[in-house]
């Protein structure tokens, strides 16, 4: 019996990923429940199992009294001193009451308690494993689809991909593998509930961290992400090493790194732009692939006026305003875009200061440098035209 118990503990450790202490504590609770069910006692009792031998003992705690009124809770001074002469009135005595065997009802109770305790322990282990993974990307296999909710197998448990977190137009089929962002891990009575997302901006950020070694090791930093899942995204990057081009690192040789991410997101367009501490340059970069003539900024209001060539206006604004909207999200600035002719008509040149020529020169230099990279420029990796 004891050897079988130890073998069962080892099996549970291997199959369920539980620790020996958790299993033994569950078994001790089982023995205690079985003992109380068998004897009907209301005494305070404890059960212990030797971790090495598997031998178990059950003890009840009794108070030493002069005259015993409740034999289950009390023990006479004479009987207590027969066990140990040092006992005195008022002391607590632990008396062993281990039954030689348990009846059928006790065994049934033990089984139910053991099953419940092990389920709880397994749920706690799974919760502890995933609770620290909020904000991570996990790869799972689609198990089933129920009323537009996708259930993804994550090994020991499953994650939930609600319809609100699914990429519009993306098709999900059972057995397909899927990368998802962990939004939240909840502890429920039925076990951990893991909420997944395919639309969260964090998914794009994590995919770049996985794909680009320079981001993983901290040489290149992701400053901001703006995303309209399934359609288009923008990501701004910065290099702490002046010898490494952050945009080129993210694009990769022949555009392979960014293309792998585009494939994972089913052809979602991705603009990679260079972050700059100068908000005017940053805003100009954020409007890629559109060319920019000039940018005027007001720091207190966090607003800006951008002038683009007439033929680039629709490209700068984007289809249904998407390019401008994403640029505003990326930079956290309000952006007002005008064409060159519109600016002239409305007198926008009155906003320019004495340093405008220096800004234009720096902007032209930045744009020129992007075009001379050995790797593919951003607007070649994610081609757009005015109709897009």
**324 plus 357 within the same structural domain:** yes
Inside any domain, residue 111: yes
Distances (CA, A) of 271 to 90, 154, 216, 250, 380: 79, 31, 20, 10, 10
**266 plus 239 within the same structural domain:** yes
Find all residues with CB under 8 Å of 323, minimum gap 6, and list them: 232, 287, 290, 315, 316, 317, 384
Q: Which of 242, 274, 306 is the C-terminal boundary of a domain?
A: 274
pLDDT at 95: 83
**36 plus 113 within the same structural domain:** yes
SS3 of 356, please? helix
Range of the domain at 308: 277-368
pLDDT at 80: 87
**112 plus 220 within the same structural domain:** no
Inside any domain, residue 377: no
SS3 of 139, please? strand
DSSP secondary structure code for residue 367 in this structure = H
The whole-model pTM stands at: 0.66
Domains contained in the chain, number: 4
pLDDT at 113: 64
Q: Quick check: 284 and 255 in contact, CB under 8 A?
A: no
In tens, the pLDDT along 18-44 reads: 788 887 887 788 778 778 877 777 778
Cβ neighbour number for residue 204 with a 10 Å cutoff: 24
Question: Cα torsion for 252, 254, 255, 260, to the nearest 10°?
Answer: -90
Residue in the block written with tokens 């945009």: 247
pLDDT at 66: 87
What H or E segment, with its residue span, contains residue 264? helix 256-264
Spatial distance between the Cα atoms of 294 and 273, rounded to a whole number of angstroms: 17
Residue 110 sits in a domain whose CATH number is: 3.30.1480.10
pLDDT at 372: 37
**191 plus 218 within the same structural domain:** no
Spatial distance between the Cα atoms of 237 and 386, rounded to a whole number of angstroms: 25
Q: Which of 195, 216, 244 is the C-terminal boundary of a domain?
A: 195
**50 plus 75 within the same structural domain:** yes
Q: What share of the chain is helix, strand, coil (3-state, %, to 5)?
A: 45, 25, 30
Q: Quick check: 239 and 249 in contact, CB under 8 A?
A: yes
Residue ranges in 43-160 assigned as alpha helix (H): 77-83, 104-131
Inside any domain, residue 108: yes
The tokens of 141 are what? Answer: 């296999």
Question: Cα torsion for 151, 154, 157, 158, to the nearest 10°?
Answer: -10
pLDDT in tens, the chain (388 residues): 466 667 767 777 776 677 888 878 877 887 787 788 777 777 788 888 888 887 888 888 889 898 888 888 888 988 888 888 888 998 998 888 887 766 555 556 656 666 676 777 778 888 888 888 899 999 999 999 998 999 999 988 899 999 999 999 899 999 999 999 999 999 887 888 999 999 999 999 999 999 999 999 999 999 999 999 999 999 999 999 989 999 999 999 999 999 999 999 989 999 999 999 999 999 999 999 999 999 999 999 999 999 999 999 999 999 999 999 999 999 999 999 999 998 888 776 544 444 444 555 555 544 444 433 333 333 333 333 434 3
pLDDT at 111: 62
Spatial distance between the Cα atoms of 246 and 221, rounded to a whole number of angstroms: 8
**270 plus 285 within the same structural domain:** no
The tokens of 144 are what? Answer: 């089933």
The tokens of 384 are what? Answer: 């757009």
Spatial distance between the Cα atoms of 122 and 124, rounded to a whole number of angstroms: 5
Backbone angles phi, psi at 285, to 5 degrees: -65, -35
**24 plus 119 within the same structural domain:** yes
The tokens of 307 are what? Answer: 């002038």
């Amino acid at each position: 019996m004891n050897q079988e118990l130890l073998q069962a503990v080892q099996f549970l450790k291997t199959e369920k990923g539980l620790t020996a202490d958790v299993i033994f504590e569950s078994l001790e609770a089982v023995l205690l429940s079985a003992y109380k069910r068998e004897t009907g006692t209301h005494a305070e009792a404890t059960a212990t199992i030797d971790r090495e031998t598997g031998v178990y003992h059950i003890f009840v705690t009794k108070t030493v009294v002069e005259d015993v009124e409740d034999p289950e809770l009390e023990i006479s001074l004479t009987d207590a001193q027969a066990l140990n002469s040092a006992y005195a009135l008022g002391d607590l005595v632990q008396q062993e009451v281990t039954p030689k065997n348990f009846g059928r009802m006790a065994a049934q109770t033990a089984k139910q308690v053991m099953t419940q305790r092990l389920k709880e322990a397994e749920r706690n282990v799974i919760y502890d494993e995933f609770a620290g993974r909020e904000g991570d990307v996990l790869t799972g296999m689609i198990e089933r689809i129920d009323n537009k909710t996708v259930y993804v197998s994550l090994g020991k448990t499953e994650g939930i991909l609600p319809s609100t977190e699914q990429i519009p137009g993306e098709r999900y089929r059972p057995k397909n593998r899927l990368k998802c962002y962990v939004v939240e891990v909840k502890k429920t009575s039925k076990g951990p509930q893991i909420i997944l997302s395919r639309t969260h901006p964090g998914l794009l950020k994590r995919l770049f961290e996985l794909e680009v070694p320079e981001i993983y090791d901290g040489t290149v930093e992701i400053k901001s992400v703006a995303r309209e899942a399934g359609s288009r995204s923008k990501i701004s990057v910065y290099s702490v090493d002046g010898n490494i081009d952050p945009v080129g690192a993210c694009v990769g040789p022949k555009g392979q790194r960014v293309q792998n991410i585009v494939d994972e997101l089913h052809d979602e367009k991705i603009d990679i732009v260079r972050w700059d501490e100068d908000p005017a340059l940053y805003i100009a970069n954020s409007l890629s692939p559109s060319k920019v003539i000039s940018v005027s900024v007001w720091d207190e209001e966090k607003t800006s006026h951008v002038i683009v060539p007439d033929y680039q206006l629709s490209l700068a604004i984007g289809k249904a305003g998407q390019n401008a909207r994403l640029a505003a999200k990326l930079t956290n600035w309000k952006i007002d875009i005008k064409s060159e002719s519109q600016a002239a008509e409305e007198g926008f040149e009155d906003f320019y200061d004495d340093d405008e020529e220096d800004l234009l020169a720096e902007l032209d230099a930045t744009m020129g440098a992007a075009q001379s990279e050995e790797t593919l420029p951003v607007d070649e990796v994610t081609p757009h035209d005015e109709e897009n």
